[in-house]
Chains A and B, each alone.
Chain A
């Protein structure tokens, strides 16, 4: 039993690995080795920074084909986090427009810059901090997590999925309702950082480790 955190060179993967190790005795590896990724029982696709760089590194490390193949087969659970969620869509507005993996229908959009709160303070972008996640459909990964629980976010772009059946959670920021948890079959992906979301985040990771889709 091995959980592989796919390391294509973007971002800090230690936090994810440490949080997984905290909730399971299964072996957690951070790797870019295709054989080890194929051999794993579960996969985590993280992502941080600009999506152009993430997609670029995925190409450069020759992992794009493997990730696409694994997404197509859906034979093991995969958890996407942050840009790892955004990459699953068709396309992102970031960096002048970037084609993504197209596993789920939809777009990644930029938060408008002119949003204000009810005290007329400017709403900051990145959307950074703890915000409420509203669960839409039931999902094994929501087990033991309260409706409208706080999770930790850091992002300037958000997902707008085309098919409501793929949307499992939303978060409101200004006039935007971002699709912050999406998925189908054995794939689930979140915009927030479960590894940084204290008890609720660890619960979600534990649910992922126990998930048998």
Chain B
């Protein structure tokens, strides 16, 4: 008995609505973020991640207001990501009630930003989001590379090396998304999950590709993830959080039931 593995439902929010795309294309409306966050909190979610996928500035203010409303109602950790580019952005989100922020593209374009952010706000609230894609061909040793811009732009960075570097720069946690799996419902990329979980000292959240509860179990047992993140299996009512937790516990995983 000890530290529980976490289930983290993820809200992808665009202009104040929860949406879910398949491979970052093809958006489907899933409802009001505050209502959904409350529902997941009541169901026993261990954390909530809120990813702001909006581009415009006006919508950014809507996001801040959403975060404030969720933080006033939901007393579990709340991570906010999407468009975090400066210490001011971090300050704004923490003041709105976020507990952690997730830094993605800005970490790739300016790794020192992660260092500055961790120095200023503490590693405990700095999550670095890593979007990785398998680039090795069949028969070659496995290799994954970092992609930005929703999986469209390769960076040439090796995912495992990058994960190590981000932890050295002060990341307190890594949110690892497999870009070729995201939205496909065929399960996490367990290879990259295991490679990164073994390479770093901080917790790793597995994300991208969950289609059923066995995938969550695999992410923890085979992938070595400390937490699993999923969106659509929960948003569209295929599974509830308690079902998922009980299923994982029945497979010998320590859970908070």
* B interface size (C-beta, 8 A): 36
What total count of A-B pairs have CB within 8 Å? 99
Q: Check if B124 sits within 8 Å of A198, measured CB to CB.
A: no
**Binary contact readout A108-150 vs B (1 if CB under 8 angstroms, 0 otherwise):** 0000010001010111111111111000000000000000101
**With contacts A113-B201, A126-B202 known, is A195 near B75, CB below 8 A?**
yes
**Interfacial residues, chain B to chain A (CB-CB below 8 A):** 1-6, 41, 44, 46, 71-72, 75-77, 94-97, 99, 121-125, 172-173, 197-198, 201-203, 221, 224, 226-227, 256
Whether a CB of chain B sits under 8 angstroms from the CB of A186 is: no
Q: Check if B46 sits within 8 Å of A49, measured CB to CB.
A: no
Which of A14, A126, A132, A198 makes the CB contact (< 8 A) with B76?
A: A198
Cα distance A191–B41 when bound, in Å?
22
Whether a CB of chain B sits under 8 angstroms from the CB of A201 is: yes
Which of A49, A113, A128, A132 makes the CB contact (< 8 A) with B1?
A: A132
Q: Check if A198 sits within 8 Å of B41, measured CB to CB.
A: yes
Tell me what chain B mostly uses at the interface: helix, strand, loop, or mixed. Answer: loop
**With contacts A127-B3, A173-B3 known, is A122 near B122, CB below 8 A?**
no
- The residues of A that contact B5 with a CB separation of less than 8 Å are 129
Nearest-neighbour CB distance to chain A for B99, whole angstroms, equals 6
Which of A119, A130, A195, A196 makes the CB contact (< 8 A) with B4?
A: A130
- The residues of B that contact A154 with a CB separation of less than 8 Å are 124, 172
Nearest-neighbour CB distance to chain B for A25, whole angstroms, equals 15
**With contacts A18-B71, A196-B99, A198-B41 known, is A126 near B124, CB below 8 A?**
yes
Q: Check if A129 sits within 8 Å of B75, measured CB to CB.
A: no
Nearest-neighbour CB distance to chain B for A30, whole angstroms, equals 11
**Interfacial residues, chain A to chain B (CB-CB below 8 A):** 11-12, 14-15, 18-19, 22, 48-50, 113, 117, 119, 121-132, 148, 150, 152-155, 172-173, 195-198, 201-202
Q: Check if A126 sits within 8 Å of B123, measured CB to CB.
A: yes
Q: Check if B97 sits within 8 Å of A15, measured CB to CB.
A: yes
Nearest-neighbour CB distance to chain B for A56, whole angstroms, equals 13
Cα distance A122–B202 when bound, in Å?
10
Cα distance A198–B6 when bound, in Å?
14
Q: Which are the 3 A-B pairs with shortest beta-carbon distances?
A: A49-B122, A150-B256, A130-B256
- The residues of A that contact B4 with a CB separation of less than 8 Å are 129-131, 150
Which of A121, A124, A131 makes the CB contact (< 8 A) with B202?
A: A124
Q: B118: nearest residue on chain A (CB-CB)? A: A49
